[in-house]
């Protein structure tokens, strides 16, 4: 329970960084931290007590029986989520570089040409 809460605190740090920082790169960092927190939370859901070496891989000389093993489904999902995070970050940085080329600053308050 404490571990889940600490995960949500990390998610809160990411949200806080995203809301209060005006620099685009800091927003990218805030977003990545939020992504890390959500991915880690999903993996914490699948952990089994003293399952540190109970990763879901079978070997010919099998020592761990399959009902001791950790939950493999969240791991398969989070592999996808990590690569989604990479895709979003790459697109974010590409747009940030082009914005820097156009506005010559990373500060979003000075980029405010459009009124929301």
Our finding on whether 1 is near another protein (CB under 8 A) is yes
The structure tokens 């879901």 sit at: 56
Task: Choose among 12, 18, 16, 10: nearest CA to 36.
Answer: 10
Task: Choose among 9, 8, 27, 7: nearest CA to 17.
Answer: 27
Our finding on whether 7 is near another protein (CB under 8 A) is yes
Draw the binding track, 30-49, toward another protein (x: CB under 8 A; -: no contact).
Answer: xxxxxxx-xxxxxxxxxxxx
User: 3-state class of 52 per DSSP?
Assistant: coil
Draw the binding track, 81-110, toward another protein (x: CB under 8 A; -: no contact).
Answer: xxxxxxxxxxxxxxxxxxxxxxx-xxx-x-
Positions 46 through 75 that interact with another protein (CB under 8 A): 46-49, 51-60, 66-67, 69-75
């Amino acid at each position: 329970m404490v571990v889940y809460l600490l995960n949500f605190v990390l998610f809160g740090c990411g949200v806080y960084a995203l809301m209060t920082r005006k620099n685009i790169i800091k927003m990218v960092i805030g977003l990545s931290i939020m992504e890390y927190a959500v991915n880690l939370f999903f993996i914490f859901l699948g952990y089994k007590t003293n399952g540190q070496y109970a990763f879901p891989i079978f070997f010919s000389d099998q020592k761990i029986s399959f009902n001791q093993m950790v939950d493999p489904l969240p791991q398969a999902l989070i592999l996808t989520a990590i690569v989604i995070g990479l895709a979003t970050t790459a697109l974010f940085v590409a747009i940030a570089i082009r914005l820097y080329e156009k506005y010559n600053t990373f500060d979003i308050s000075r980029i405010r040409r459009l009124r929301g």
